[in-house]
Amino acid sequence: MGPDLQNDFFGSLHSFWNGAALVEGIRDVLCFDRTGLGAHFLPLSLWLAAGRVLTSMAAVAEKRRESLSEPGREALQTSVTEGLAVGG
């Protein structure tokens, strides 16, 4: 269903949502001999770039969290080992 037949909220989502851009782009390739494909390529490439940036940021945050927790993990293992040696 096109954005003209939808209410205002979903009609506005249609302009930048990646699923709509993909469906419209495939429709243009199959039905209209590739006319207007470039207009749908821009939102898809922007979503791809945003996904890559967010994935990279998550990877950096995860590595920082792992590197910060290493000393704490070693201290915990040492205290558990000492506690078992003393208590055992």
The pLDDT tens digits for 3-57 are 666 777 777 766 666 677 777 777 777 887 767 667 777 888 888 999 999 999 9
For residue 52, how many other CB atoms are within 10 A of its CB?
A: 10
- Residue 88 predicted with pLDDT over 60: no
What pLDDT shows up at residue 79?
A: 65
Which residues, 6+ apart, have CB-to-CB distance to 6 below 8 Å? 14
Of residues 86 and 50, more confidently modeled: 50
Quote helix, strand, coil % in the chain, to nearest 5: 85, 0, 15
Residues 27 and 46 sit within 8 Å (Cβ to Cβ) = no
Structural domain total, the chain: 1
Of residues 60 and 27, more confidently modeled: 60
Domain of 46, in residue numbers: 3-87
What pLDDT shows up at residue 23?
A: 78
Tell me the pTM.
0.54
